[in-house]
A and B are shown apart, each in its own frame.
Chain A
Amino acid sequence: MLRRFEVHRATSVEEAVDLRVRYGDDAAVYAGGTELLLAMKLGIARWAHLIDVKPIRELSRVAVARDTVRIGATVTHWDLERHPDVTRVLPALARLEASVANVRVRAAGTLAGNIAFAEPHADPPALLVALGARVVARGRRGERTLPLEEFVTGMYQTALGGDEILTAVEVPVPAPDARAAYVKFQVLERPSVGVAIVAKVNGASFAGPPAVVVGAVDELPRRVDTAALAGASLADARVADALAASARAAVSPVADLAGSEEYKRHLVGVFARRALTALAAG
């Protein structure tokens, strides 16, 4: 049972921007609704107006250019786990999407909505930050693109302006010698911890420092300091030890139902090692 509200079906980004300006804090942007409607049903949030962006054609596309995959804001997890270009160019992202929540959430929920809701217990942000993803937003003053790391500013908080619509997520196409992996620990619908690793690999060694990002345990995805790992062998046990220690030091876990601060910090070390193992396996 939901309290009364009105849904406005926007058919262009400009119309959605106008609706945001007109209704201000009384309105929320609505796409899959898997987070939004849940929060409204639980009474955590209430809006008199929902701006449905799903009718906006241009937001439903996945476009692969030479150096960027542009994912429109209404593309669902379900679409991404099956998309032939995504599975080919960003296989680690496609695998991650296939493991988000459950099949019903994936069928309705969108990647952009997941990012815009900024729920810390989420899978995509860690890998997307490690891949160098950017967020595209459009408002009254035009379009801007900012790194995902700058877009998410806190728990349930983003840099999206009151007149802006998140229109796309852009992911750089990884270099041919780059590999990516995402591993997580999860009991229910949301991850307790997720670790992403993206690295150029030369033979069995890192060519430069790997990008390692820890998600879900902290208020924000956290980058791990890996400067010391440049050139190191993936099979060297000391590399796994160093990565685990660095990952544990990178986070300030928030204690919640998924575990205490101490427990989560331990998990971060364990899953940093597993991320390395997954990367080494190809």
Chain B
Amino acid sequence: MRQISLRLNGVARTVEIEDQVLLVELVRSLGLTGTKVSCDTEVCGACTVLLDGRPVSACTTLALEADGRSVLTIEGLAKANQLHPLQQAFIDNFAFQCGFCTPGMILAAKALLDERPSPTAEEVRRWMEGNICRCTGYQSIVDAVLDAAGRRP
């Protein structure tokens, strides 16, 4: 067993893991089941979390990589009862139906807006091309990200 310390959604945590444990297995075992496993091969983006602000596939990232770093999952985005602007924009733009891809979509979009606060629609599409949605046809997702960009404080 290996002991790692991380900031998980802003809270310092120390956990014991075996080396082969994946980051998605760790966060889900801690009750954070918003992070989904779908393709399990880095293709679909449903497992996207932010590791020190960068989007990674939690399904193919070792949990030990989080040692000494910060991990943001979808559960860490809202402040108390206040949804994050991206979450509110996804609701307002009907940017999900089944919702399975949504946590990954929102975290990928957060990484984009953190780096580039006012992206073009084309930049949103290029950035999000690794996040797959099988319900919406993507237009409403792109609209939501652009809408959120306009709302950010």
For B55, the chain A residues whose CB sits under 8 A away are: 103-104, 107
Q: Is the CB of A103 within 8 A of B130?
A: yes
Q: Is A87 in the interface zone, CB < 8 Å from B?
A: no
Contacts known (A101-B130, A102-B130, A103-B127); A34 close to B60, Cβ less than 8 A: yes
Bound together, the chains give a CA A183 to CA B108 distance in angstroms of 26
Q: Is the CB of B64 within 8 A of A7?
A: yes
For B131, the chain A residues whose CB sits under 8 A away are: 102
Contacts known (A34-B60, A102-B129); A5 close to B20, Cβ less than 8 A: yes
Bound together, the chains give a CA A115 to CA B125 distance in angstroms of 28
Smallest beta-carbon distance B75→chain A, Å? 19
Contacts known (A33-B60, A37-B60, A37-B62); A104 close to B45, Cβ less than 8 A: yes
Q: Is A188 in the interface zone, CB < 8 Å from B?
A: yes
For B62, the chain A residues whose CB sits under 8 A away are: 7, 33, 37
Contacts known (A102-B130, A105-B130); A189 close to B60, Cβ less than 8 A: no
Q: Is the CB of B41 within 8 A of A104?
A: no
Q: Is A3 in the interface zone, CB < 8 Å from B?
A: yes
Bound together, the chains give a CA A107 to CA B56 distance in angstroms of 7
Q: Is B25 in the interface zone, CB < 8 Å from A?
A: yes
**Considering the complex, which residues of chain A in the window 1-25 have a beta carbon less than 8 Å from any beta carbon of chain B?**
1-7
**Considering the complex, which residues of chain B in the window 101-127 have a beta carbon less than 8 Å from any beta carbon of chain A?**
108, 111, 127
Smallest beta-carbon distance B90→chain A, Å? 18
Smallest beta-carbon distance A226→chain B, Å? 32
Chain A count of residues within 8 A CB distance of the other chain: 24
Q: Is the CB of B43 within 8 A of A188?
A: yes
Q: Is the CB of A38 within 8 A of B19?
A: no
Smallest beta-carbon distance A1→chain B, Å? 7
For A34, the chain B residues whose CB sits under 8 A away are: 42, 57, 60
Bound together, the chains give a CA A103 to CA B126 distance in angstroms of 9
Looking at chain B's contact residues, the main secondary structure is mixed
**Considering the complex, which residues of chain B in the window 1-45 have a beta carbon less than 8 Å from any beta carbon of chain A?**
2, 18-22, 25, 40-43, 45
Q: Is B54 in the interface zone, CB < 8 Å from A?
A: yes
Q: Is the CB of A104 within 8 A of B64?
A: no
Q: Is the CB of A5 within 8 A of B19?
A: yes
For B43, the chain A residues whose CB sits under 8 A away are: 102, 188-189
Smallest beta-carbon distance B51→chain A, Å? 8
- Give the A-B pair count, Cβ closer than 8 A: 70
Q: Nearest CB to that of A5 among chain B residues?
A: B20
Contacts known (A34-B42, A38-B42); A108 close to B127, Cβ less than 8 A: no
Contact of A102 among B2, B21, B45 (CB under 8 A): B45
Contacts known (A38-B41, A101-B130); A4 close to B20, Cβ less than 8 A: yes
Bound together, the chains give a CA A33 to CA B40 distance in angstroms of 14
Q: Is B93 in the interface zone, CB < 8 Å from A?
A: no
Q: Is the CB of A3 within 8 A of B20?
A: yes
Bound together, the chains give a CA A93 to CA B45 distance in angstroms of 25
Q: Nearest CB to that of B40 among chain A residues?
A: A41
Q: Is A42 in the interface zone, CB < 8 Å from B?
A: yes
Q: Is A271 in the interface zone, CB < 8 Å from B?
A: no
Query: What residues of chain A have their CB less than 8 Å away from a CB belonging to chain B?
Result: 1-7, 33-34, 37-38, 41-42, 50, 78, 101-105, 107-108, 188-189
Query: What residues of chain B have their CB less than 8 Å away from a CB belonging to chain A?
Result: 2, 18-22, 25, 40-43, 45, 48, 51, 54-57, 60-62, 64, 108, 111, 127, 129-131
- Sample (19) of A-B pairs whose CB atoms are under 8 Å apart: A1-B25, A4-B20, A33-B62, A34-B42, A41-B41, A42-B41, A101-B130, A102-B129, A102-B130, A103-B55, A103-B130, A104-B42, A104-B56, A105-B57, A107-B51, A107-B54, A108-B56, A188-B43, A189-B43
Further contacts, 11 of them, CB under 8 A, given A1-B25, A41-B40: A34-B60, A37-B60, A41-B41, A102-B42, A104-B48, A104-B55, A104-B57, A107-B54, A107-B56, A108-B54, A108-B56
